Chain A
Amino acid sequence: MNKRMVLWLLAGLMAVPLVVGQACAQIRIGLMAPLTGSWASEGRAMKQIVDLLADEVNEAGGILGQKVVIIAEDDGGDPRTASLAAQRLSTQGIVAVIGTYGSSITEATQNIYDENNIVQVATGSTAIRLSEKGLQYFFRTSPRDDEQGLVAANTLKEHNFKRVAILHDNTTYAKGLADEAQALLKADEVEIVLFDALTPGERDYSTILSQLRSRNPDVVLFTGYFPEAGLLLRQKKTMGWDVPFLGGDATNNPDLVSIAGTEAAEGFMFLSPPVPQDLDSAEAVSFMTAYREKYQGDPASVWAVLAGDAFKVLCAAIEGSGSTDPAEIAAFLRTGLEDFQGLTGTIAFDEKGDRVGELYRLYQVDSQGNFVLQQ
């Protein structure tokens, strides 16, 4: 008899979470971000911003009267870790997931979320093919590489550069952007004097710079990330070589200037979606106030802010569709967003789940090391 009592008791205890869970229902939203690994700074900033916004929403009463709970998983900036993270998240009853940063990392997780009927809003993944697979639940708040490629090619043409060297780092993102820009420039008969890749994560790029200099380009288009861009600028300066550099949006990080040094970074141009500091919409201003109060300082990069945008559109879609059903959320994201103001401007999605509208702007580093939006 004793044994049976114990068993009943255990069964009862196991039911407690179910009952409690019903009583205070929550809306669970996953966050998949590179919290460790070489993009850890991006991932941690993503989490900070999403946590900040979730706290705001919960203080205001939550969505549909329910609290929002953020469940963060680390993708390590690595496709294998990411697919494990996606599988773990899929078992935790989330309705949607925010993330992640790198395109190849997002790609490893797309099918997992799609099969589990979870809405995924990627935040830094700009590779074109991610949204060309006809996935119902995939969206992104970041723009696509082809848009950036177009802006890059136009910028180079406007500045009348005749001989262009293109350097990428063999990641899905950087290669995609480099290919896009090269195709557009070739079509306009701009001479591509070098098209090659560096190995990210190294310290010494003087071999590459020597090789670039020997081809004598008017400008170098570097489509990789800020740590390498900073080193390239610094070592270019040491070599005494004075050539303009244009970077892709992954170079938009203040650490670029600290790595390169103010002197070497001066004049560096890059393309990027505008950061909230440079925008004067009500949403951007109130976000910046809250952010500065909680974390002292400005967000380190625009990509983390796009994670905030992903959170905001998800909340809007859950609220707007009055449902936590993924199909309805996805339908609302495609058709229901009208003039929705995010942290980086107006947000709407097309049929493929891509963000609609011109987002890219040209920035240049001034003599104090500030990023100045070019008009």
Chain B
Amino acid sequence: MQLFFEQLTNGLAVGGIYALIALGYTMVYGVLKLINFAHGDLFTIGAYLGLTMLVSMGLTSHLGPLAGILVLTIMVMGLVAVIGALLERVAYRPLRTSPRLSAVVSALGASIFFQNAIMLIYGARFRVYPHDILPVTSITILGLQIPVMRIILFTASIVMMAGLYFFVQRTRTGTAIRAAAIDQGAAKLMGIDVNRVIMYVFLIGPALGGAAGMMVGLYYGQINFTMGWVYGLKAFTAAILGGIGNIPGAMLGGLLLGVIEALGATYISLAWKDAISFLVLILILIFRPTGILGERVADKV
């Protein structure tokens, strides 16, 4: 039983990261019906920018660890958001009216471009975040030893997701995003600037992905230019699992995928971990082709 709860927390921690990245996929899909394959690489860029600014500006030594990381997070989110918006302008907007396949190919191209650009700028070797920034203390809850940082990261990802949810549900811009997701033509007729809405989507999704990248860098330490691939794939799976185009679906899908992986690895086989999670995905898609929350919520994003 102890092992079960230990693995449950392990799964939730990984799932929180998947969910943050999955939001980027699902928002873009909701509005543009496009899988942004470069999203995993925006996550990598977040990790590298976080490292660069952390080391070069010495934020944590000036402001203390918590405030320093808060400022760092905001800076990383801002920068990755700008890169995301630029990506949309350069790689997707000129193809808005062309067949959908062209945009997908353009997305794959952007992904290869980012990956190699990072490799050429930062080098092919693994980069490592400084080890002494975060406190390595654990607390014991019900006999489980959980590192404090895990709890903080998990809470941070939940807070960000909740923030996004309220932004989309309660603000005017959020309503415009939802409207554009339902019917772009009608949204345009109602006076919504759809290009601007799409730009918002490409600011928010990459910002969350970038923040996830930085969190992975901070907690696990090691980053390299190909890290976006595995996380991107898993997050994409999570988005589909929860119902792509649906924001709460991406959150649920991410957490669920993390937990399925952890429990499958524990009780069936470590090596079969990915096979098990993809099997679950296939089963869910057979019985609910739109994903877990795909249909139930009318106003998709």
Q: Which of A41, A206, A214, A234 has the most CB of B within 10 A?
A: A206
B220 an interface residue at 8 Å Cβ cutoff? yes
Cβ-neighbour of B3 out of A214, A227, A238, A263 (below 8 A): A214
B10 an interface residue at 8 Å Cβ cutoff? yes
Contact between A40 and B119 (Cβ–Cβ < 8 Å)? yes
By a CB distance below 8 angstroms, the chain A residues around B52 are none
A180 to B1, CA, bound (A): 34
Within 8 A of B (CB), among A138-191: 167, 170
Cβ-neighbour of A211 out of B124, B131, B226, B265 (below 8 A): B265
By a CB distance below 8 angstroms, the chain A residues around B221 are 231, 234, 259, 261
B190 an interface residue at 8 Å Cβ cutoff? no
Supposing A36-B119, A197-B271 touch, asked if A204 and B7 sit within 8 A by C-beta, the answer is no
Cβ-neighbour of A258 out of B128, B145, B271 (below 8 A): B128
The minimal Cβ–Cβ distance linking A105 to chain B, given in whole angstroms, is 16
Contact between A170 and B270 (Cβ–Cβ < 8 Å)? no
Supposing A207-B10, A207-B265, A255-B125 touch, asked if A198 and B224 sit within 8 A by C-beta, the answer is no
B216 an interface residue at 8 Å Cβ cutoff? yes
B222 an interface residue at 8 Å Cβ cutoff? yes
Supposing A197-B271, A214-B3, A227-B222 touch, asked if A300 and B125 sit within 8 A by C-beta, the answer is yes
By a CB distance below 8 angstroms, the chain A residues around B10 are 204, 206-207, 210
Within 8 A of A (CB), among B214-236: 216, 220-222, 224, 226-227, 229-231
Closest 8 CB pairs of A and B: A40-B124, A197-B271, A196-B270, A203-B220, A259-B222, A261-B131, A41-B125, A206-B10
The minimal Cβ–Cβ distance linking B232 to chain A, given in whole angstroms, is 11
By a CB distance below 8 angstroms, the chain B residues around A259 are 126, 128, 221-222
By a CB distance below 8 angstroms, the chain A residues around B13 are 204, 206
Closest to B270 in A: A196
A21 an interface residue at 8 Å Cβ cutoff? no
A217 an interface residue at 8 Å Cβ cutoff? no
Cβ-neighbour of B230 out of A197, A202, A258 (below 8 A): A202
Contact between B274 and A239 (Cβ–Cβ < 8 Å)? no
A235 to B145, CA, bound (A): 13
Q: Mark B95-111, 1 if CB is under 8 A from A, else 0.
A: 00000000000000000
B266 an interface residue at 8 Å Cβ cutoff? yes
Closest to A238 in B: B147
B261 an interface residue at 8 Å Cβ cutoff? yes
Cβ-neighbour of B116 out of A36, A206, A263 (below 8 A): A36
Q: Which of A36, A43, A211 has the most CB of B within 10 A?
A: A211
**Chain B interface bracket (under 10, 10 to 19, 20 to 34, 35 or more):** 35 or more
Q: Which of B116, B222, B266 has the most CB of A within 10 A?
A: B222
By a CB distance below 8 angstroms, the chain B residues around A44 are 124
Contact between A196 and B271 (Cβ–Cβ < 8 Å)? yes
Within 8 A of A (CB), among B1-16: 3, 6-7, 10-11, 13-14
Supposing A41-B125, A238-B147 touch, asked if A203 and B222 sit within 8 A by C-beta, the answer is yes
Closest to B231 in A: A203
Closest to B230 in A: A201
Q: Interface SS of chain B: helix, strand, loop or mixed?
A: helix
Contact between B222 and A41 (Cβ–Cβ < 8 Å)? no
Closest to B258 in A: A204
The minimal Cβ–Cβ distance linking A166 to chain B, given in whole angstroms, is 12
Within 8 A of B (CB), among A112-150: none
By a CB distance below 8 angstroms, the chain B residues around A214 are 3
A152 to B221, CA, bound (A): 29
B155 an interface residue at 8 Å Cβ cutoff? no
Q: List 29 A-B contacts (CB under 8 A).
A: A36-B119, A36-B124, A43-B124, A44-B124, A167-B270, A196-B270, A198-B270, A199-B230, A199-B271, A201-B227, A203-B220, A203-B227, A204-B10, A207-B11, A207-B262, A207-B270, A207-B273, A210-B3, A210-B7, A211-B3, A211-B266, A231-B220, A238-B147, A239-B147, A240-B138, A255-B125, A255-B126, A261-B221, A300-B125
Q: How many A-B residue pairs have CB under 8 A?
A: 99
Contact between A204 and B125 (Cβ–Cβ < 8 Å)? no
A261 to B129, CA, bound (A): 10
Closest to A175 in B: B271
A9 an interface residue at 8 Å Cβ cutoff? no
A171 to B3, CA, bound (A): 28
Given contact pairs A41-B124, A204-B13, A210-B266, a sample of 15 additional A-B residue pairs in the complex whose CB atoms are under 8 Å apart: A36-B116, A36-B124, A38-B224, A44-B124, A199-B271, A199-B274, A203-B227, A207-B11, A208-B265, A211-B266, A231-B221, A238-B136, A239-B147, A240-B145, A255-B126
Contact between B124 and A201 (Cβ–Cβ < 8 Å)? no
Cβ-neighbour of A170 out of B11, B125, B138, B271 (below 8 A): B271
A6 to B145, CA, bound (A): 83
The minimal Cβ–Cβ distance linking A195 to chain B, given in whole angstroms, is 10
By a CB distance below 8 angstroms, the chain A residues around B265 are 207-208, 211
By a CB distance below 8 angstroms, the chain B residues around A199 are 230, 271, 273-274
A197 to B14, CA, bound (A): 19
A44 to B261, CA, bound (A): 35
B269 an interface residue at 8 Å Cβ cutoff? yes
By a CB distance below 8 angstroms, the chain A residues around B119 are 36, 40
A259 to B216, CA, bound (A): 13
By a CB distance below 8 angstroms, the chain B residues around A206 are 10, 13
The minimal Cβ–Cβ distance linking A35 to chain B, given in whole angstroms, is 8
Contact between B7 and A207 (Cβ–Cβ < 8 Å)? yes
A258 to B230, CA, bound (A): 22
By a CB distance below 8 angstroms, the chain B residues around A203 are 216, 220, 222, 227, 231
Q: Which of B10, B124, B227, B229 has the most CB of A within 10 A?
A: B124
The minimal Cβ–Cβ distance linking B120 to chain A, given in whole angstroms, is 10
By a CB distance below 8 angstroms, the chain B residues around A37 are 226
The minimal Cβ–Cβ distance linking B85 to chain A, given in whole angstroms, is 27
By a CB distance below 8 angstroms, the chain B residues around A326 are none
